[in-house]
């Protein structure tokens, strides 16, 4: 499977992970590292990459979601607030992202944009 121009392939991304592990100190003595050490460090590094990717995708998803304009609880008009940081727990660890928020003065509740298929 070829990648689009200027988009790294999975192999190129893997090469960056290898370089980071070897040169960045994740596996300081590769010549004497056993499989368990290599596997543990690789999983730790790839999990961190996965968290970053999920965070970026959730932030993009929240920007694409329809804003909450009326309160789901009372139906009154919502007031937009400054975007807030959220944290969710994924199977690969915590993921943090920024999302818009709407506030209901009547209920004194904040709501994040979402839809039934969205992760947020």
pLDDT band per the 50, 70, 90 thresholds, residue 94: very high
Return the number of other C-beta atoms located less than 10 Å from residue 103's C-beta: 15
pTM (whole model) above 0.85? no
Domain boundaries, the chain: 10-111
- Helix, strand, or coil here: 48? helix
Q: In which band, very low, low, confident or very high, does the pLDDT at 117 lie, cut at 50, 70 and 90?
A: very low
First to last CA, the chain: 31
State the chain's mean pLDDT as an integer. Answer: 90
pLDDT in tens, 11-43: 999 999 999 999 999 999 999 999 999 999 999
Tell me the C-alpha distance between 74 and 71, whole Å. Answer: 6
């Amino acid at each position: 499977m070829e990648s689009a121009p200027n988009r790294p392939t999975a192999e190129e991304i893997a090469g960056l992970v290898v370089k980071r592990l070897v040169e960045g100190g994740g596996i300081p003595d590769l010549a004497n590292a056993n499989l368990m050490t290599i596997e543990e460090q690789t999983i730790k590094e790839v999990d961190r990459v996965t968290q970053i990717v999920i965070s970026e995708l959730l932030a993009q998803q929240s920007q694409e979601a329809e804003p909450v304009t009326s309160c789901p609880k009372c139906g009154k008009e919502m007031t937009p607030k400054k975007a807030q940081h959220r944290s969710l727990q994924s199977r690969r660890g915590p993921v943090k992202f920024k999302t818009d928020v709407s506030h209901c003065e009547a209920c004194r509740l904040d709501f994040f944009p979402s839809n039934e298929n969205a992760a947020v």
